[in-house]
């Protein structure tokens, strides 16, 4: 009995140490071109981070305050990069380009993992929607996903990517970042500590207009919508016309 108590106490102390010291393991977020999700970042659709400035670069940050409430702006930024050198974007976010209102949950959010039905690192997706004039290119110099337990920052991962065109990220479909397979064990270790709350921060460059937004999604939830290629639409239309003609001939006979 005494031995079991000692083990439990050691585990409890380890959990407290982890919660008190944010981990910066070499985890990363990577763009997955194979995932196609409908864009959800505009109009009445909720977002977890919105950034907008006509001058490049632009930066925005969201965090969970010590009291558990939403915190938006420069004071919500980590101040140092989430990843070790060579494993992430290595770009610190400074914030300051978050459009008002800063407490609007349509523009910002700090969701619990349970709210998005996220139970493992493989579920995590960050949907990025870009609004650039003429569908111009845009660079996500950094996007950081932060993990909070009981309002305490316990870890983070980040990544970066340059998109040659922002057209797919506005209205039709959003770009999706996922957790690198090599780092999923690290993230699963964070998720195993309890009902984690997420927060985002990002820096964008080569931007012009906005708003540009991010939303944390479960990529293993409902099947993503399939957007047919133009050739597929033509074949579908032809098939419907042939089917209607045959049905008409049958009724005539």
Q: Where are the domains of the chain?
A: 19-248
Its pTM stands at 0.76
pLDDT tens figures, 139-157: 999 999 999 999 999 999 9
pLDDT tens figures, 22-48: 544 444 899 998 887 765 545 567 899
pLDDT, greater one: 207 or 151: 151
Q: Which DSSP symbol is given to 34?
A: T
pLDDT tens figures, 84-138: 555 566 788 999 999 999 988 889 999 999 999 999 999 999 999 887 777 778 8
Which range among 120-124, 166-170, 202-206, 241-245 has the greatest average pLDDT? 120-124
DSSP assignment of 97-131 equals: -PPSPTT-TTT----BGGGGT--SGGGEEEEEE--
CA dihedral 31, 35, 36, 39 (to 10 degrees): -50
């Amino acid at each position: 009995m005494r031995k079991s108590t000692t083990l439990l106490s050691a585990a409890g102390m380890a959990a407290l140490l982890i919660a008190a010291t944010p981990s910066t393991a070499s985890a990363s977020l990577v763009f997955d071109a194979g995932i196609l999700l409908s864009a959800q970042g505009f109009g009445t659709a909720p977002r977890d981070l919105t950034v907008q400035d006509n001058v490049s670069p632009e930066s925005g940050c969201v965090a969970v305050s010590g009291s558990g409430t939403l915190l938006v702006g420069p004071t919500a930024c980590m101040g140092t990069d989430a990843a070790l050198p060579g494993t992430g974007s290595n770009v610190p976010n400074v914030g300051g380009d978050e459009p008002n209102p800063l407490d609007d949950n349509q523009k910002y959010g700090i969701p619990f993992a349970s709210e998005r039905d996220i139970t493992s690192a493989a579920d995590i997706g960050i949907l990025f929607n870009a609004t650039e004039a003429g569908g111009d290119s845009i660079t996500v110099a950094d996007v950081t996903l932060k993990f909070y337990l009981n309002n305490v920052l316990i870890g983070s991962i980040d990544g970066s990517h340059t998109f040659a065109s922002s057209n797919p990220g506005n209205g039709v479909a959003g770009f999706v970042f996922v957790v690198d397979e090599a780092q999923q064990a690290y993230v699963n270790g964070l998720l195993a500590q309890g009902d984690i709350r997420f927060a985002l921060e990002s820096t964008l460059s080569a931007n012009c207009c906005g708003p540009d937004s991010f939303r944390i999604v479960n990529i293993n939830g409902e099947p993503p919508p399939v957007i047919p290629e133009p050739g597929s639409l033509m074949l579908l239309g032809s098939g419907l016309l042939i089917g209607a003609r045959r049905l008409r001939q049958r009724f005539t006979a």
